[in-house]
Amino acid sequence: MPTMKLYQNGTSAYMGGVGTHKRAKRGLVTGWTAASARRQTRWLWTVDAPALSGSGYALTLTLKDTPDTAVEFHALRRAWVKRLERMGSTRVHWVIEWQRRGTPHLHAAVYFDRVLTPQERTMLVGHWVQVAHVFSPEIFAQDVEDIRGPMGWLKYLSKHASRGVNHYQRDGHPESWDRTGRLWGASGKWPVIEPVVIDELNNWEFYRVRRLMRAWAFADARKAGDARRMKFLRQSIRAADERKSRFQGAAEWIPESVALRLVEFLREEQR
């Protein structure tokens, strides 16, 4: 049965059904996959942005030299997060991506229950430079920005956390790494809202709402001047196998409020 799930920050539509296969045990993580990107996206979609209390900061943390193994890099990440916890952080979301030369870098959103002093704000980067000193992080190559309210969170998502597996910063990993370990994670108290499920669609309504979702997403990308997203959306509607295309789902960064209006428009069309 066709089903829609309306999250706070995104919407998906797919042909329902219960599979008979058993989920396989996860093996070694050797880079970004469609499944890992999808899991992060679905989690990000549930975050209740207006309920993100406190003061937030978006960071990009880099290294000059590449660690020989993922174990070394994750040790740096954990040491840095531990220092933030001692500073009083309430929640952290982090994402690992790659520079063009293969060196990993870290994007993160960090929240505190207070506004940090200028010195404390500087230490968000300073702690990284200290724990990662063996790999020559340069202070001027690190970045920290304020996350101001719900719009600041959504800006962080669009800039650092919403990329698909085919983005160049998620394609591959350092040659010396035989495995990468987890490439995203979250800790602390995150306010989340489970999606609204609409499972009363017929096939015609599914096809129509799928087209409406892509049209809205394309218009949104064009308004933002996001050529990469526009190109992806053009390609996503093409399928060599016509039968397969009938069952192809859609998943876009369409807020729940917008998706509800699309559903209402769909039902008005049929009256």
Outline which parts of the chain fall under CATH 3.30.70.1910: 46-188
Question: How many whole angstroms separate alpha carbon 2 and alpha carbon 218?
Answer: 23
Higher pLDDT, 31 or 132: 132
Confidence of residue 242 (pLDDT cuts 50, 70, 90): low
Looking at the chain, how many residues does it have?
A: 271
In this predicted structure, the answer to whether residue 181 has a pLDDT above a threshold of 90 is yes
In this predicted structure, the answer to whether residue 192 has a pLDDT above a threshold of 60 is yes
As a whole number, mean pLDDT of residues 153-164 equals 83
Higher pLDDT, 80 or 165: 80
Confidence of residue 119 (pLDDT cuts 50, 70, 90): very high
Q: What percent of the chain has pLDDT over 90?
A: 58
Arithmetic mean of pLDDT over the chain: 88
Cα 1 to chain centroid, rounded:
28
Please choose, from the candidates 190, 192, 191, 209, the residue with its C-alpha nearest in 3D space to the C-alpha of residue 200: 209
In this predicted structure, the answer to whether residue 19 has a pLDDT above a threshold of 50 is no
**H or E element in which residue 105 lies:** strand 104-112
Amino acid residing at 241 = D
In this predicted structure, the answer to whether residue 215 has a pLDDT above a threshold of 80 is yes
As a whole number, mean pLDDT of residues 228-254 equals 76
What are the b/e assignments for 151-165, b being 16+ CB within 10 Å? ebbbebbeebbbbee
**H or E element in which residue 82 lies:** helix 70-87
Note the pLDDT of residue 41: 92
Note the pLDDT of residue 239: 62
Confidence of residue 17 (pLDDT cuts 50, 70, 90): low
In this predicted structure, the answer to whether residue 186 has a pLDDT above a threshold of 50 is yes
Question: How many whole angstroms separate alpha carbon 266 and alpha carbon 198?
Answer: 13
Fold (CATH) for 46-188: Alpha-Beta Plaits (3.30.70)
pTM (global) more than 0.75: yes
As a whole number, mean pLDDT of residues 195-222 equals 90
Cα 32 to chain centroid, rounded:
12
Amino acid residing at 211 = R
Q: Is 36 helix (H, G, I), strand (E, B) or coil?
A: helix
In this predicted structure, the answer to whether residue 237 has a pLDDT above a threshold of 80 is no
